[in-house]
Structure 1
Amino acid sequence: MDPNTTVDPNNICSAKGLVVAITGGGSGIGLAMASAMAQTGAKRIYLLGRRADVLSTAAQTLNALANVAADTAVALPTDINSRASVAAAAAAIERESGHLDVLVNNAGKTGPPNKAALEAQSVGELQEVLLTGFEEDGGDGDWLDTLRTNTASVALVTASFLHLLDAGNARRGWQAGRVEAGATRARKWTSELGEREGVDEGDLRTSQVLTVASIAGFNRQITAGVAYNASKAAAVHVGKVLATLLVPWGVRSNVVAPGVYPSAMTGEHDQEYPVSQVPAGRKGSFDDIAGLILYMVGKGGSYLNGSVQVTDGGRLSGFPSTY
């Protein structure tokens, strides 16, 4: 490595020219990530989610930013738990852009609350709290929906968008399709590639899947509920499994595990997420998540694969955690 190499932060940590899809991109961390990427030159950002009105408002907000092109953000109403709906979203992206550089699996829900179990004074009370989310007829109810939304959707959306991520690699000159173990993925550089937006010879990024989990996936202390902790732990592992599974296909997979950030999800439970439990003494900020996402999708993060990036102000350090 040459220490005389010029360092340009705007080049290393930038989404310039990228085509991105974000589930749950209409609010909270997803919208913050979308804003950071839009403001650093992303070519197109597809906001996926069930609430069309929220997505539309988010897209309008992003497109109205001073340094963002008017058609950068696109609202794409999608039920991430429906294979047909996700396939329709993939088809829409393929028609308009032809590829994806980054897929962000961010959508999530808190699920049935069980934190009151910590205060239970009898076995009966404990049972009542822990059975929240299960139907009286024995159905899985909200428990199953939490696992479906927070975990299964990661696999569903990723699988449905793989051909777009593969096309993203091909657009950058990388050999498309499967490359057997032990072989090196070839890149054929041509002057034509250099004319494509967001592509240059020194840019060694390959397509990437980012899964937004939570530090709850490592925390043995109940935060929102048992289902939430379990689903986020599973989401982390899905992200790790995908990193290994997709090696022959040249698609990277990394995980973001946020702590407490301002959002509709945490805002309703401020008393359950006090900043006194965060060594940093505050909730995460826009700059915190923006800096992380721009590193991960930028050239500076091109060597990341199979990683888990914890951004929690040290909160996880104060709780019993997995090992």
Structure 2
Amino acid sequence: MASLNVLDLFNVKGRVAVVTGGSSGIGLMISKGLVQNGAKVYLVALPSDPIAEVVEELNILGQETGGQAEGIPCDISSKDSIKELSEKISQKEKTLDMLISNAGIRRDPPQSCNVLTASLEELQASMWSLPQEDWENTFRVNTTAHYFLSIALLPLLAAAADQPIGDGRKGRDEGRGVIVVTSSCASMHNVTNVDLTSYATSKAATDHLVKLLAAKYNRFYVRVVGINPGFVPSNMNPVGAEGNVFSSLFDKVPAKRAGCSEDIAGTVLYLVSKAGAYVDGVSLCVDGGRILLANGQE
């Protein structure tokens, strides 16, 4: 008889994960959730990020459950660096249970304005001030990197999905071999007080990429799913910090609060475990109901 015990359904103990952008914000929330529940996390971040300090923190968190972390510096905007990353992981692991492709950037126009109230001249000047390379870099990190990471790590993910686990079952039956891509609720609406055009467009492309990759990898049942977080504390969105450009919008969220680590980690634990093993090719919006607001009513 199948066990419906929550400890069985959401069990990730002993599983192996790669988390990009794992040293801060949403990536760190996910890494903590995995390690505290007994998973092994390869934390991937820029060489300039505090990888060693975060890994030390994660290993302390994982002491009771056997969870652990190891840091790997990598610039995921480079295809060559992604290849090197996959080679390092392949030398250490024969299978990879999950890729949390989370790293992202946001580039706002240097000449800012309130999009909802600016004059035509102010709006034009602000939008034109965004350097062209900021658009290119945004897509390189927020969209293209997910594509190449999924390809580079596909053999390890497929091996995890196909791994025999007893009783005629395979890893895929427990949710192993899954890619979780971090998008944003910005991909799903078009009105805010800040010009997020390059960011939101890259995230909309990411949402469709989830479907495209899921269709390509379905023969191996390497699942591809996405999450679309709303206001969640991060370096990109310092919730509660003085001068936060989104501060006037926080009370518009039906939940009347920002997202927290429980919201993000809980969603990911569902998607990567037995509980979410039948979920593929879709994205889950985790934004406290903000997307339910009609465009223009923010």
TM-score, scaled to structure 2: 0.89
1:116 to 114, 117, 120: 114
| Alignment partner of 1:23 is 2:11 | no
Give the whole-Å Cα distance in 1 for the aligned partners of 2:135 and 2:213: 24
Shift of 1:248: 1.6
Aligned residue number for residue 137 of structure 2:
145
* Structure-2 change in CA distance of 1:319 and 1:272 (3 Å): farther
Q: SS in structure 2 opposite 1:266?
A: coil
Give the share of equivalent positions with the same residue, in percent: 31
Larger-Rg structure? 1
* Superposition deviation, residue 105 in structure 1: 0.9
Distance 1:121 1:62 in 2: 48
Q: How is 1:67-106 mapped onto 2 (pairs within 5 angstroms)?
A: 67-69=64-66, 72-106=68-102
Supply the distance in 2 between the matched residues of 1:189 and 1:227 (Cα, whole angstroms).
47
Please list, as runs of the form range in 1=range in 2, the aligned pairs for 1:32-71 lying within 5 A after superposition: 32-42=29-39, 44-65=40-61, 66-69=63-66
- After superposition, the CA RMSD in angstroms is 2.3
2:237 is the counterpart of 1:266: yes
Measured in 1, the distance between the counterparts of 2:82 and 2:113 equals: 33
User: How do 1:1-323 and structure 2 match up within 5 A?
Assistant: 6-42=3-39, 44-65=40-61, 66-69=63-66, 72-113=68-109, 116-122=114-120, 124-134=121-131, 140-172=132-164, 189=168, 203-222=173-192, 223=194, 225-267=196-238, 270-273=244-247, 274-320=249-295
Query: How many angstroms apart in 2 are the aligned matches of 1:292 and 1:312?
Result: 12
After TM superposition, where is structure 1 displaced by more than 4 Å over at least 4 residues in a row?
A: none
Given the two structures, how large is their TM-score scaled by the length of structure 1? 0.82
The answer for unaligned runs of 5 or more in structure 1 is 135-139, 174-186, 194-198
Structure 2 runs not aligned, ≥5 long = none
Task: Work out whether residues 3 and 9 of structure 2, in 8 Å CA contact, stay in contact via their aligned partners in 1.
Answer: no
- Between 1:218-227 and 1:142-151, the stretch displaced more is 218-227
Distance in 1 between residues matched to 2:96 and 2:189, nearest whole Å: 33
